[in-house]
Amino acid sequence: MRLFLFMMLLLFSGKLVAQETRIAFGSCANQKDSLFIFDTLQKHHPETFIFLGDNVYLDNQNKDTICLKYDSLAHKSAFQRLKATTPILATWDDHDYGLNDAGKELPIKELSKIVFLDFFGEAACSNRWKHEGIYDVRYIKQDGLTIQILLLDTRTFRDSLTHFNGGPVPRDTLNYWPEYSPNTSISSELLGEAQWVWLETQLMMPADVRIVCSSIQFAHSFNGYESWNNFPFERKRFVDLITCTQASGVVFISGDVHLGEISKSEIDAGYPLYDITSSGLSMKWHAPTYNLNRIAGPVMQNNFGLLTVKRQNNIPTLQFQLIDVNNESQAELSIPITDLQFK
């Protein structure tokens, strides 16, 4: 009887009630726009919001101009309301790195990093100040689950892109003009060696779920724009690293492309690799892009991503949604974490 009363007490105090963890994410927020989509996002009370890049459109190498553009975002009322209620994590893409489609050659990347980390209030003791680039790891622990959040830096170390040269998809297969073809040099780099070493260490740390935050898409098929497909050796290296480290629970989230979609890679790592692309918070694209790996979408209206981690039949499950400004879910995927484990 005493045990029964104790259990009832715990139940009503919330200790035995399985909790949900909500993580919102998004990309491509032009500081000139209203960004009212942040108000829709807050209705879901996420534990954190992850900015996946193109968080502000700098496209400039002058320090004063860069600071003014960040100021413009800081003074947006919708952003202020988001910041007041929701912890924000961030990585960058090209436009907040400094220049459209830029890589390691960008002269102002150190300045850009300082302004970025200052703006997002990076702690003085953070490792991000100590190494080159802005990659980082964070953890959320709730309801007995460890969620690892890997913030990649896909800009600071990235080699030159290869302009479209007719492959791997013939020009007339696409109903638009592609910009890039894969860089077929075996030595071509996207993450850079130091980030690869760091990533391997992180993948060996214990976690139930690993959210890989990549500004550019990972699991879609070639579409002629910027993505991991432009560095096929680096993409394969990532898949091989997951397999070698036996890192379960990996799922990618990405942005950049001004549309939302969910992709399932044509290659797996011992289990399927999914990529939930949310873009843009305020930017839009005029037509769907080519993607043979798309399993949901495309979502052509402004959207944010929402990951809800909850137990279904006592199995922790990842529920992904792409939600528009009217709070309507436009694409969904539910993944039991048992599907992201080596058999």
DSSP state for residue 226 in the 8-state scheme: S
Least distance (Å) from Fe ion to the CB of residue 259?
12
CB atoms within 10 A of CB 340: 22
Please enumerate in sequence order all residues whose Cβ is within 8 A of that of 105, keeping only pairs 6 or more positions apart, or say none.
160
- CB nearer to Fe ion: give 148 or 254: 254
Residue 147 phi, psi (nearest 5): -105, 120
- CB nearer to Fe ion: give 116 or 271: 116
- H helices of the chain, where? 2-12, 37-42, 63-74, 77-85, 94-97, 109-119, 193-203, 232-245
- CB nearer to Fe ion: give 94 or 136: 94
Residue 271 phi, psi (nearest 5): -150, 165
Distances (CA, A) of 185 to 104, 116, 157, 237: 16, 31, 15, 14
Task: Considering only the C-alpha atoms of the chain, give the largest distance between any 2 of them, rounded to a whole number of Å.
Answer: 76
- CB nearer to Fe ion: give 23 or 102: 102
Least distance (Å) from Fe ion to the CB of residue 258?
9
Residue with token string 């190494």: 131
Least distance (Å) from Fe ion to the CB of residue 278?
13
- CB nearer to Fe ion: give 93 or 234: 93
**Interface positions with Fe ion (CB under 5 A):** 54, 93-94, 256
Least distance (Å) from Fe ion to the CB of residue 102?
10
Q: How far apart are CA 136 and CA 120, in angstroms?
A: 13
- Write out the H or E segment, with its range, that includes residue 287: none
- CB nearer to Fe ion: give 54 or 153: 54
Tokens linked to 281: 């918070």
Q: How far apart are CA 53 and CA 55, in angstroms?
A: 5
Least distance (Å) from Fe ion to the CB of residue 28?
7
Least distance (Å) from Fe ion to the CB of residue 91?
12
Please enumerate in sequence order all residues whose Cβ is within 8 A of that of 60, keeping only pairs 6 or more positions apart, or say none.
66, 69, 98
Distances (CA, A) of 12 to 6, 9, 16, 314: 10, 5, 8, 19
Least distance (Å) from Fe ion to the CB of residue 135?
17
- Write out the H or E segment, with its range, that includes residue 302: none
- CB nearer to Fe ion: give 257 or 309: 257
- CB nearer to Fe ion: give 28 or 247: 28
Least distance (Å) from Fe ion to the CB of residue 94?
4
Least distance (Å) from Fe ion to the CB of residue 53?
6
Under 8 Å between Cβ of 289 and 333: no
- CB nearer to Fe ion: give 21 or 291: 291
Sign of CA dihedral 211, 31, 97, 284: positive
